Structure 1
């Protein structure tokens, strides 16, 4: 009984499900800062023996992948209704151009969409509604989620390397994730604005 109670207070017993569940939930409903979850867990893994960094990356990858495949699957199943929602106000030629982009370089869009803040859900919804095939989506999503997990874990490793204190390293990892996410969002907005101006 004491051993059982001890297992529930073991940080790894709590930490691993928190990483997987937090990333999965955030991938389905974007209310959890999934990058901060991965960065914080990587910081803890770097500064303590409570978590294993490879397992953190693996769980984050699997959680993100399941969330992305679910989002894509929902868009595929309800493709007609989803297409009407996505296509509202869009001219037919723009939809045709989107289909062409997915047909020629869909895997690149899936990878970039996962790495760019606020880019994942629009890309997955577009892929699903435009009929992007599962056989191409799954390998691209696996690569995208693995790269994403490694990138945010690296931020946690940096913070863990700067500070031996797990609490400080975790807070710094979360801060780094927010800063990088904010900068990436600004860059993406700037690129979209320039592209829109060029299309005029």
Structure 2
């Protein structure tokens, strides 16, 4: 029997424990056509669960890959059929404001089609790159190839790292707990130093 997951990961048990692979597929899918869902977080959590023996890592990776590709293609169809008008009218309901979309589109245009692959690893672009590609008129086959490559790299990286972490999850949490006090003190000192520096700079400017 697999022991319960320690620390804050225990709070994720109801979602992944009840819905399992469906949760992974659904969250990754909707994130990839613009909905602000925690797709990357659910992938990492599922990978950790797999490492701890709760899920099968191959199934997690396959489902996440398929959901990522399908989700981005839904976004591509939205961009291709509705264009900027649709984004400007409804985008704000999923936090895709015209300003945010314009910045992502400018970045996309500046770096060319291969950015579809890299966009998978960039927050904001991951959610909007399919819509931008469709709006910009990128040929679908080209988009599909770049998108599939990006999805494979993204899923492969996070699923592998999370799976390895999951196989040592108890030891990792023991180390985190042991050094938590020192970590908090270090962060407090750094925060105080940054605040002090800002105060001194403002006084100097005045």
Q: Report the TM-score, using the length of structure 2 for normalisation.
A: 0.59
- 1:57 and 1:149 in contact (8 A); partners too: yes
Q: 2:38 is matched with which residue: 24, 28, 33?
A: 33
Whether contact under 8 Å (2:116, 2:146) holds in the other structure is: yes
Residue of structure 1 in register with 2:73 after alignment: 69
Cα distance in structure 1, aligned partners of 2:132 and 2:32: 16
Partner Cα distance (2:160, 2:119) in 1: 19
* Kept in 2: contact 1:79–1:129 (CA 8 A): yes
Secondary structure of 1:115's counterpart equals coil
1:162 aligns to 2:172 (yes or no): no
Q: Which aligned runs of 4 or more in structure 1 are off by greater than 4 angstroms?
A: 82-87
Asked if 1:133 is matched to 2:129, the reply is no
Q: How large is the RMSD of aligned CA atoms in angstroms?
A: 3.4
Displacement of 1:83 after TM fit?
A: 8.8
* Equivalent residues of 1:47, 1:164 under 8 A apart: no
Q: Distance in 1 between matches of 2:167 and 2:58?
A: 16
Show CA shifts across 1:25-45 (max 9, x none).
Answer: 222343321111111111111
What are structure 1's unaligned runs of at least 5 residues? 1-10, 170-200
1:145 is the counterpart of 2:151: yes
How far apart are residue 122 of structure 1 and its match? 4.0
Q: Which residue pairs with 2:48 in the alignment?
A: 43
The equivalent position to 2:85 in structure 1, one of 81, 85, 105, is 81
Gaps of 5+ in 2: 1-15, 90-97, 175-206
2:75 and 2:141 map into 1 onto residues whose CA distance is 16
Q: Report the CA distance between 1:20 and its aligned residue.
A: 0.9
Q: What is the TM-score of this pair, normalised by structure 1?
A: 0.61
1:55-98 CA distances to partner (integer Å, 9 max, x unpaired)? 100100111111111011110012363598869xx8xxx98x93
